[in-house]
Amino acid sequence: MITSDFSAYAVRAIVHLPAPVMPEQVRVRLVDLMNSIASECERAGATLIGHIKCVLDAGENGFLAVSVTDASANATVRGEIKNGIGELNIVFNVLLYGLTRSRVQEIVDPLVKMRMSFEGARIKLEDLEKEHQHEHGPVPIRMDGLDGSGGRDHGRQDDHC
């Protein structure tokens, strides 16, 4: 049950690295980061951590998913990255109770910047909720044979997002 003290925060970190970093180095930092976010949220007054997770998509080199559900420093890691990585594209999701969204953001953003800063790296954070705020007006539904194209879309809506 979602109550009024529920908060969700999603942010993407894009880390441009001057030279590739080894997969184990990235893995260790992500585990430390997830554990730190959980600890800091609990310290700030989170009453229940629903889920704190991140996914690093390294394209053809693989992926890493790291998650925690409490502040016990027992992060779960799935996936594997092969070879060195020159750019990190990581999505973080924090779902918890007891803190406002803005307070969660105040905790998460500086920790991401601190823990994912490799020497000479540039980090850009994108608040995924703000990146997707626009009005969803009516989406046209094309019906077979009615749009004049003769296409076979079977009434599907165009997904523009």
In the chain, domain spans: 6-129
* Distance of alpha carbon 75 from the chain centroid: 16
Q: What is the mean pLDDT of each run of 10 residues along the chain (161 residues)?
A: 84 94 94 96 94 94 94 92 91 96 97 93 92 42 42 40 40
Q: Rounded to whole angstroms, how far apart are CA atoms 16 and 43?
A: 31
Cα(first)–Cα(last) distance of the chain, in Å? 28
CATH architecture of 6-129: 2-Layer Sandwich (3.30)
Nearest to 153 by CA among 22, 29, 144, 52: 144
